[in-house]
Amino acid sequence: MEKEIRDVVIIGTGPAGYTAAIYSGRANLKPLIIEGHQPGGQLMITTDIENFPGFPEGIPGPELMSRMRKQAERFNVDFIFGSVAEADVSRSPFGLTLDDGRDILARTLIIATGANAKWLGIESEGLYRGRGVSACATCDGFFFRNCRVFVVGGGDTAMEEALYLTKFASEVVLVHRREEFRASKIMSLRAKKNPKIKTMLNEVVDEILGDGTKVTGIRLKNVKSGELIEHACDGVFMAIGHEPNATLFKGQLDMDDYGYILTKAHSTETSVTGVFACGDVQDFIYRQAVTAVGTGCMSAVEAERYLESIR
Ligand code: NDP
């Protein structure tokens, strides 16, 4: 039996994926969206979102995602629960195989699989996530007004997060496991010059301390002496990198050294014509729901134009 070929297949149901679905649904392209096993993306583990325009009182992350899904449902979008196990974009139509063995063919593919913050993996970090432990200063910094916070990491993200947090916190302590920062000179210098930022080098996090409901401190271990010291604080921000969810396309699409999918300037077009990438899987700079929504819209518009060009 001949397999059905879909005009638009979207992988991922964060803000980028749902926006691409809303736009291509409204354009009558009957998109198919593959939801993954935990639909909604990173915002499902976020508490209040206060910087998404249109919600003056803020909105819980899961509620925002449920509203986006409902909006997509209005426009003839097909949803498939499950994950993509294999992808082949070497020939058109593009081929996808789901983890339950189903095959899907697509004339255009929109990759909106997002990225995940890396975590240390210690138990106390999970226990206090959303209660003092965060991996996004832009999202949660506001809740740490006049507080003492720690930022873990030594790359550009750590510098940027630390600098951003100085707008709210009374003191920001940068904790890095080595002597030298990995961050660019300009960013390290900016952090060094800021009077609110202190640095603790050659230290790793041994434990995040709390009273059962919120973070109250952090225990650091000196990598040279092995000495353990407890420090009082109200928040701990992890800035040890992100992992874009793009391994399916490794070797098939151009990526940067960190595994983010490369897109052309002012576009979401990837190195393969007809394949578009939007949201955090191609954006290591902004990583915001609003920017993901913007690039999701771009992908849908570009996919529609591409389909018109091949008809
Ligand atoms: P990086 O991989 O550059 O840095 C991660 C940092 O976290 C490193 O200092 C690393 O230490 C540390 N680290 C990693 N794992 C652990 C661990 N388990 N325990 C303790 N520390 C750990 O990631 P970034 O997110 O900072 O940056 C990613 C890319 O994005 C870079 O290319 C960066 O330049 C770019 N970027 C650009 C920005 C801009 O232009 N404004 C802003 C933010 C990021 P170690 O150094 O020892 O490996």
Average pLDDT over residues 35-60: 85
Distance 173 CA to ligand 1 centre (A): 16
Measured from the Cα of 184, ligand 1's closest atom is 34
pLDDT band at 144 (very low <50, low <70, confident <90, very high): very high
**In this predicted structure, what is the pLDDT of residue 2?**
62
**Can 3-116+242-310 and 119-238 be said to share one CATH topology?**
yes
- CATH level 2 (architecture), domain 119-238: 3-Layer(bba) Sandwich (3.50)
pTM of the model: 0.80
Q: How far is CA 307 from the centre of its chain?
A: 28
* Ligand 1 nearest-atom number relative to CA 178: 47
Helix (H) or strand (E) holding 303: helix 289-310
pLDDT score at 37:
81
Cβ neighbours, 10 Å, residue 15:
30
What digits encode the pLDDT tens for the residues 199-256?
999 999 999 999 999 999 999 999 999 999 999 999 999 999 889 999 999 999 999 9
C-alpha closest to that of 190 among 162, 230, 148: 162
Domain ranges of the chain: 3-116+242-310, 119-238
Is the CB–ligand 1 distance for residue 284 below 6 Å? yes
Mean pLDDT of 107-112: 98
Q: Does any ligand 1 atom lie closer than 6 A to the CB of residue 160?
A: yes
Distance 42 CA to ligand 1 centre (A): 19
Q: What are the catalytic residues?
A: 136, 139-140
pLDDT confidence tier of residue 138, bands split at 50, 70 and 90:
confident
Q: Which atom of ligand 1 is nearest to the CA of 176?
A: 21
Å from CA of 5 to ligand 1 middle: 41
Instruction: Report how far ligand 1's centroid is from the alpha carbon of 153 (Å).
Output: 6
**pLDDT tens track for 74-91:** 999 999 999 999 999 999
Considering only CA atoms, give the Rg of the chain.
Answer: 21
**For all residues of the chain together, what is the average pLDDT?**
95
The CATH homologous superfamily for domain 3-116+242-310 is FAD/NAD(P)-binding domain (3.50.50.60)
Assess whether pLDDT exceeds 70 at residue 308: yes
The dihedral formed by the CA atoms of 172, 200, 183 and 289, expressed in degrees to the nearest 10: -40
Burial per residue of 97-111, b for 16 or more beta-carbon CB atoms within 10 angstroms, e otherwise: ebeeeeebbbbbbbb
Q: Report pLDDT for 49.
A: 81
Is the minimum distance from the CB of 242 to ligand 1 under 6 angstroms?
Answer: yes
- 178-204 tens-digit pLDDT: 999 999 999 999 999 999 999 999 999
Which of 122, 125, 157, 223 gets mutated to test ligand 1 (max ligand atoms within 8 A of its CB)?
157
Residue 258 pLDDT: 92
